[in-house]
Structure 1
Amino acid sequence: MCTTGELEHDGNIMGDTRISIRHVSSEEQPREWTSVLNLAKAHRGTLGFLTDSAFMDRIRRGTLIVAEDDGVLVGYCLYDVPRRGYIKLVHVCVATRGSGIGKLLIDAAIEAHPEATAVVAYCRRDYGLDRFWSSVGLSPRGERPGRALNGSVLTQWWMQLGDLDLLEDAALGAGRPLVAYDTNIVTDLFGSPDLFRPEREASLGLLADWFQVEVTPVLSPQVDVELDRIDGELERTRQRQAIAHITRLRSQRHQGSDVLPELLRNIDATVLDADPSLREDFRHIADALTADVAYFVTNDTRLLHHGPAALPTGSTLEILRPHEVVRALDQRLEQPVFQSRLIEAVDLRWTAASSSSESELVDAFISHAHAERGKDLTRAIRAAISQNPRGTRVLTGPKNELWALLAEHRDADALRVPIIRVARGAASNTVALQLARHTRHIARQNNLGEVMIDDSNVTVMMRHALLADGFRDEDGFRASLINRTMTHQQFMHEHPDLPVHHTGHLRDLERRFWPLTLIHTNAPTYVIPIQPRFMYPLFGAPRETLVELDRPRALGLSREHVYYSGSGKALPPRGARIIWYATADQTEQVRAVVAYSRSLGCERTRPRDAYRANRQIGVLGRDHVLSAADKSGQVTVVRFEDTEVLATPVGGHDLQDLFAKHDVKQPIQSFRRVPSAVFDDLIVRERRNST
């Protein structure tokens, strides 16, 4: 049933004491009943059709509210309370436009049902009443076909009530800065590629993985209101669905909040008169202020100019363009992106923690975010050195600078880690990601089935690194190791209680239970040829590591890398297996499969753009990227992760037999998709030879 009402204006709530709001009971006189019907008929052009009996039903249920001015009916509200606990508005009708009575009626319905979790209304789009609904705190969340023969569309208007639900509480209480997007940013990020958006490239930086894990994106309900005004149904639906997962702030307008009026009072009246749309723009700011948002991101030049001046004294909200908020977070988090170049350009080595002074260790690794006391960290370091001197180590650089602190020891079938810290600096996030995987390497080498992080002062950066590596946050971070190769079916049979909710979970499972390797998954599999001179730096290990595996680098192979090629065919999609086939060049001849990885996706672009976008991840120089371009001037960028080097390269007759078994023709001169069984046989052979 369509709901409607007369247009009202922000903050214009009638204060006349003659107005009375009350629920109508079935004992009321017929005069009130007749007045309600007459008012409904007078506004039937913007009210959903209801029979007289439907009105009577609401009276019997006690869900008809009337507004009277000195005994004269000036408005009414019909509503239902379904079992699901929300208030469904059926009719909201007032006699006088802009009186504020509609809000009073809705507030009365809310006050009568304090247990209600939300208010919902359905209104025809062509009624043009969006300003009314938004003024009382509702926002559009979807639409559906109406009953009218002319093809009407009903918009669903929604307002959350009560305490935060579990999803809201988890998002808003996660401790990360709240970043609110303006509607123009939403359209930049999620609008159709066909839309011309001059600032889109800058806005897309907000979708970077490192940025997303460090903030909590949120939206004011005003975004939903403004997206609802998009004329094209396909584009409207596209953007609405794209932001369905983003947490909405609670609008305070239905509670009579004075934040918005205060903001508007701080703006020169001539500015508001010259640009009335600024009043609506400041609804975003009002909701952001109420929710303690850290950054409001917009490309609206007017709002960027007038917004900061309107903020109340003492406000910490910053109104910035996308590149400015990215830069602010980047500086705040000291460049929290994976940059393999930073750690592969230096010679990192583990040294005994006892070789460094306690004051050096405390200064480098104390957790200020947890208000950790220096004497507490000193005690922890002393205890770790005393109990496990060989397992308490410092990662140092060529000039003995401190990079990381790790204390670990064996406890039954688990590796216990009482201290895991990363020094502050440009490479801190990169080292944290490597360090999380390093603890698993230690457990694997010692045939342990679990890693247990007991450090109660793990920094936010280290926490994110552990979660990214598949650790579970269960009263301390935990990671289970499955040092086996098994079929996906066998794995699910042995772990029936593990929640698996989508088909692309191969990466999640292998990362969560590393070094688990799943076979018979039918995952897309590709062979990529690589010259030996690029093989060693690309895999993040010195030349001898691929030959003498008993001499690993301090942090093992890099988590993520990028490779450039002129091949434009058979590009491995995200999640595909990559088998690395080392060829021959002027440095040496290998002609063997030496490693495998997991694809993070490929793209074709110009070499200079490719190098500029990926130079912090890759270790290959600009000259290689430029020389890798094909005749059309394009280069293929291959992003990949979790590389595993084979204990024994597979070449010669063994490789010929493997390829012949699966009808893979040689030579391999460019990217080649092969049956997934090639990977399966390769892994089975590798595990058999390593045991």
Structure 2
Amino acid sequence: MIIRIINNASSKEFRNAVKLGDSNSKTLGFLPFIAFEKYAKLNQLIGAFEKGTNELLGYLLYRISYNKVTIVHLCISKNRRKSSTANKLVDYLKKHTRQYDGIKLSCRNDYGIDKVWEKFNFVPIIEKTGRSKRGLPLTIWWFPHYQENLLTQISEYELNNKIVAVIDMNIFLDLKEGREKESLALKSDWLLSEAILFYTREIHNEINKASTPELKKSSRKLLRYFKELPFRDEEEFSRIHQELKSEFPLKHKNDNSDLKHIAYSIAGGAKFFITRDGVILSNKKFFKQYNLIIYRPSEFITHLDENIQVSKYRPQTLIGTNISSTRIKSGNINKFIDTFLKPTERKSRFQKIVRDSLSFPDKFELIRISKEDTLLAFLIFDRSLDDKLRIPAFRFLNSNLKTTLSKHLLFKSILTSIKENRTFIEITEEFLDNDIETNIQEARFIKIGASWHKININGVLDSSEIHKELEEDFFTKQVIEKIEEIFHEFNNGQKLLKKYQFERFLSPLKLKDLEIPNFIVPIKPHWAEELFNDRSKQKLALFEPQYELLLNRENVYYRSSSPRILNAPARVLWYVSENKLTNEKGSIIASSYIDEIFIDNPKKLFKQFEKLGIYKWKHIVQTAGKKDKLMAFVFSDTELFKSSISLKNICDQFEVIENKKFMLVSPRKIKSETYLSFYKLGMGI
């Protein structure tokens, strides 16, 4: 079978397609010749042909609007309807329309071909009254193209910072119908701040099996209170689904749907799957190979605190605590060796690392992190190379601060390296827990051999100049190649995203030719003080003992939901407005990235982000005022400017580049050129 575009309206192939469509117009709906001709000219008519004879076996005709692809006709010759012809045509369409949000189609319910669309991995999302004389109902089916682009609706913040748990259909019905008490605990308000409950796209197929339109409608309405897990990779899903079917032979009609829920969960990156299915629960160990933990609802609730410690970043746990970082002296070193020695590690090896470091205090810094008298962490900074910060020890004792501490210290290590103009960071610690390795990876380190590497390019460059800027030794080449490998599947339409990821991986690099949105955001002086005033100048000041923890890698800021100017991802400059108490004029003091934007009910937003940032409920109420919607945006990788940019300087630069007067009462979009000009000025580049 050969699949190819039919774009010649005078060809025999085209005439045969029109003829086939007309002969099936009762089910397809009549399409005028001129419409066939229009779609052919737009290369939106795909034909399937018998190899050798060139006989037309079927065709697919589609249109594009609002960045969505809509299948208008999928028509197969009667003698080929049980073959793979339709599948091949749909696969061709999927492959060649990945730059769009997804593919949709409408199909009358009385045709009885739901299983066809399910087989093609489409899901039913809504039921409508059709345009036929009898007003017969039809269903809209949808296949998403998951794109990591500027318009993505998938929240990477939530996937990385919340406990991601998927519920199956039975749990969904428990919550909908108020049955099974243990499931109802999942509706508790406090759960929102700890975990995100997702459903998989398979639930649409299960809802579609309901006996009445009213039941379908009520179930779809309830879906709004949950989130749909990302559907990233159809091939990965199909592979996992086949593996599960081999392990769990289908015995009942609902078994395949149960396995699809799990396959989608694994492919979508979920960590937990909540079910009451006895077969699945009795095979918990099997799913560990997929890094998926199976729980009953009661088990999930019971173990939630334990799960939080390894899954969640909670900067607020450090706020107001007496956490300190101090240099280790030789007098008490044996205590640290015994305390932080790993069970499978040779003591003599660890002793050598520690004692060698102590021997060169001008090049090595041994740091203990403790809360009052309780030890929490131990790390070593090795500055023996001018352009590299090595970390041969990066160890944490089990505590409820372990994950938060590791993320904070990674970010502080990166900041330290940048401040000291070091291009490279290398973590050579050999005994890393799995959760610590995950945090290192999230901090955009790349693993080469047994160590983790991060490159810091301090400057503003064109993307073509990156390789020229680096002295490409073996490890540097490996790191760059690994970064490129991560994004090698991006197509031409995703060049922007690829550049954006390179900028983030090689931070504090700023690319001249990266055209993502740029904004100036006003912030009141007291919030700027809380969020950005890094009071420490000393090497060891990883924590500010009298103040709330500052400059976590991620933070959240609240503002009015209107006007809706901001979007993500984007770069942002922070403008501190005039301080009327001190008569200080406004200035730009820092730069960050906007990662995610959320607009919702203030209470829901507060619950969702109360573990991130410095805001109390009273602050949220003040910001929201009488409005029922509020904006929260997650920002990260904040860089404090070496010197703030004065209001006069801002006005002068603004008039030259933007050709406008500078006035700022709400976030303002600016040119990339303006952003880079202010960034260079603030960083002294």
TM-score under structure 1 length normalisation: 0.58
Structure 1 Cα separation of the partners of residues 122 and 285 of structure 2: 40
Q: How does 1:665-684 map to 2 (within 5 A)?
A: 665-684=661-680
User: Residue 497 of structure 2 aligns to a residue in which SS?
Assistant: coil
Structure 2 Cα separation of the partners of residues 225 and 342 of structure 1: 42
Counterparts in 2 of 1:472 and 1:210: CA distance versus 1, 3 Å: farther
**Is the contact made by 2:185 and 2:301 (CA closer than 8 Å) also made in structure 1?**
no
Question: Quick one: which of 591, 597, 603 aligns to 2:592?
Answer: 597
Match of 1:583 in 2: 577
Counterparts in 2 of 1:389 and 1:362: CA distance versus 1, 3 Å: farther
Counterparts in 2 of 1:549 and 1:595: CA distance versus 1, 3 Å: farther
Structure 2 Cα separation of the partners of residues 239 and 561 of structure 1: 24
Match of 1:74 in 2: none
Deviation at 1:382, TM superposition (A): 3.0
Counterpart of 1:534 in structure 2: which amino acid? W
User: Residue 402 of structure 1 aligns to a residue in which SS?
Assistant: strand
Match of 1:634 in 2: 629
Match of 1:451 in 2: 425
Structure 1 Cα separation of the partners of residues 296 and 362 of structure 2: 50
Deviation at 1:395, TM superposition (A): 3.8
Structure 2 Cα separation of the partners of residues 309 and 598 of structure 1: 42
- 5+ long unaligned stretches in structure 2: 2-49, 54-81, 85-108, 124-140, 142-162, 174-182, 214-219, 221-227, 471-479, 545-549
Match of 1:249 in 2: 240
Question: Quick one: which of 444, 451, 461 aligns to 1:486?
Answer: 461
Deviation at 1:491, TM superposition (A): 3.5
Deviation at 1:592, TM superposition (A): 0.8
Match of 1:386 in 2: 359
Structure 1 Cα separation of the partners of residues 319 and 121 of structure 2: 50
Structure 2 Cα separation of the partners of residues 126 and 425 of structure 1: 59
Q: How does 1:427-466 map to 2 (within 5 A)?
A: 427-466=401-440
Q: Does 1:352 align with 2:345?
A: no
Counterpart of 2:631 in structure 1: which amino acid? T
Paired residues in the alignment total 495
**Is the contact made by 2:284 and 2:294 (CA closer than 8 Å) also made in structure 1?**
no
Deviation at 1:332, TM superposition (A): 3.9
Counterpart of 1:441 in structure 2: which amino acid? L
**Is the contact made by 1:522 and 1:676 (CA closer than 8 Å) also made in structure 2?**
yes
**Is the contact made by 1:560 and 1:640 (CA closer than 8 Å) also made in structure 2?**
yes
Question: Quick one: which of 444, 448, 458 aligns to 1:474?
Answer: 448
Match of 1:401 in 2: 374
Structure 2 Cα separation of the partners of residues 601 and 372 of structure 1: 41
Counterpart of 1:249 in structure 2: which amino acid? I
**Is the contact made by 2:322 and 2:372 (CA closer than 8 Å) also made in structure 1?**
no
Counterparts in 2 of 1:287 and 1:625: CA distance versus 1, 3 Å: closer
Q: How does 1:33-48 map to 2 (within 5 A)?
A: none
Counterparts in 2 of 1:593 and 1:549: CA distance versus 1, 3 Å: farther
Counterparts in 2 of 1:203 and 1:463: CA distance versus 1, 3 Å: farther
- Provide Cα deviations, 1:28-79, integer angstroms capped at 9, x if missing partner: xxxxxxxxxxxxxxxxxxxxxxx9x99xxxxxxxxxxxxxxxxxxxxxxxxx
TM-align CA RMSD: 5.5
Deviation at 1:640, TM superposition (A): 0.7
**Is the contact made by 1:528 and 1:670 (CA closer than 8 Å) also made in structure 2?**
yes
- Provide Cα deviations, 1:132-183, integer angstroms capped at 9, x if missing partner: x9xxxxx945489xxxxxxxxxx9xxxxxxxxxxxxxxxxxxxxxx999675
- Provide Cα deviations, 1:498-536, integer angstroms capped at 9, x if missing partner: 635332245522332122222342321222111111112
Structure 1 Cα separation of the partners of residues 235 and 165 of structure 2: 14
Match of 1:338 in 2: 313
Counterparts in 2 of 1:181 and 1:613: CA distance versus 1, 3 Å: closer
Structure 2 Cα separation of the partners of residues 431 and 227 of structure 1: 43
Structure 2 Cα separation of the partners of residues 669 and 129 of structure 1: 56
Deviation at 1:199, TM superposition (A): 9.2
Counterpart of 1:431 in structure 2: which amino acid? L
Structure 1 Cα separation of the partners of residues 376 and 608 of structure 2: 26
**Is the contact made by 1:481 and 1:516 (CA closer than 8 Å) also made in structure 2?**
yes
Counterparts in 2 of 1:208 and 1:677: CA distance versus 1, 3 Å: farther
Structure 1 Cα separation of the partners of residues 283 and 271 of structure 2: 13
Match of 2:473 in 1: none
Deviation at 1:431, TM superposition (A): 1.8
Counterpart of 2:629 in structure 1: which amino acid? Q
Q: How does 1:3-42 map to 2 (within 5 A)?
A: none
User: Residue 628 of structure 1 aligns to a residue in which SS?
Assistant: helix
Match of 1:41 in 2: none
**Is the contact made by 1:562 and 1:617 (CA closer than 8 Å) also made in structure 2?**
yes
- 5+ long unaligned stretches in structure 1: 2-50, 55-88, 92-124, 134-138, 145-154, 156-177, 189-197, 265-275
Structure 1 Cα separation of the partners of residues 371 and 258 of structure 2: 53
Counterparts in 2 of 1:143 and 1:532: CA distance versus 1, 3 Å: closer
Q: Does 1:523 align with 2:516?
A: yes
Structure 1 Cα separation of the partners of residues 110 and 242 of structure 2: 25
Structure 2 Cα separation of the partners of residues 435 and 390 of structure 1: 19
Q: Does 1:534 align with 2:527?
A: yes
Deviation at 1:435, TM superposition (A): 1.8
Question: Quick one: which of 555, 563, 571 aligns to 1:569?
Answer: 563
Deviation at 1:328, TM superposition (A): 3.6
Counterpart of 2:643 in structure 1: which amino acid? T
Match of 1:27 in 2: none
Deviation at 1:632, TM superposition (A): 2.1
Counterparts in 2 of 1:286 and 1:650: CA distance versus 1, 3 Å: closer
User: Residue 611 of structure 2 aligns to a residue in which SS?
Assistant: coil
Deviation at 1:411, TM superposition (A): 3.2
Counterpart of 2:576 in structure 1: which amino acid? A
Question: Quick one: which of 634, 637, 653 aligns to 1:658?
Answer: 653
**Is the contact made by 1:567 and 1:630 (CA closer than 8 Å) also made in structure 2?**
no
**Is the contact made by 1:295 and 1:325 (CA closer than 8 Å) also made in structure 2?**
no
Counterpart of 1:184 in structure 2: which amino acid? M
**Is the contact made by 1:470 and 1:512 (CA closer than 8 Å) also made in structure 2?**
yes
Q: How does 1:273-292 map to 2 (within 5 A)?
A: none
Q: How does 1:165-244 map to 2 (within 5 A)?
A: 184=169, 244=234
User: Residue 601 of structure 1 aligns to a residue in which SS?
Assistant: strand
Deviation at 1:420, TM superposition (A): 1.2
User: Residue 458 of structure 2 aligns to a residue in which SS?
Assistant: coil
Structure 2 Cα separation of the partners of residues 682 and 576 of structure 1: 15
Deviation at 1:398, TM superposition (A): 5.6
Counterparts in 2 of 1:506 and 1:331: CA distance versus 1, 3 Å: farther
Deviation at 1:663, TM superposition (A): 3.3
Structure 2 Cα separation of the partners of residues 528 and 314 of structure 1: 49
Match of 1:97 in 2: none
Match of 2:554 in 1: 560
Deviation at 1:434, TM superposition (A): 2.2
**Is the contact made by 1:418 and 1:453 (CA closer than 8 Å) also made in structure 2?**
yes
**Is the contact made by 1:394 and 1:402 (CA closer than 8 Å) also made in structure 2?**
no
Counterparts in 2 of 1:622 and 1:375: CA distance versus 1, 3 Å: farther
**Is the contact made by 2:241 and 2:259 (CA closer than 8 Å) also made in structure 1?**
no
Structure 1 Cα separation of the partners of residues 463 and 287 of structure 2: 53
Structure 2 Cα separation of the partners of residues 239 and 440 of structure 1: 32
User: Residue 584 of structure 1 aligns to a residue in which SS?
Assistant: coil
Counterpart of 1:443 in structure 2: which amino acid? S
**Is the contact made by 2:377 and 2:396 (CA closer than 8 Å) also made in structure 1?**
yes
User: Residue 522 of structure 1 aligns to a residue in which SS?
Assistant: coil
Counterpart of 1:334 in structure 2: which amino acid? Q
Counterpart of 1:580 in structure 2: which amino acid? W
User: Residue 644 of structure 2 aligns to a residue in which SS?
Assistant: strand
Counterparts in 2 of 1:598 and 1:203: CA distance versus 1, 3 Å: farther
- Larger Rg: 1 or 2? 1
**Is the contact made by 1:187 and 1:239 (CA closer than 8 Å) also made in structure 2?**
no
**Identity percentage over the alignment?**
17
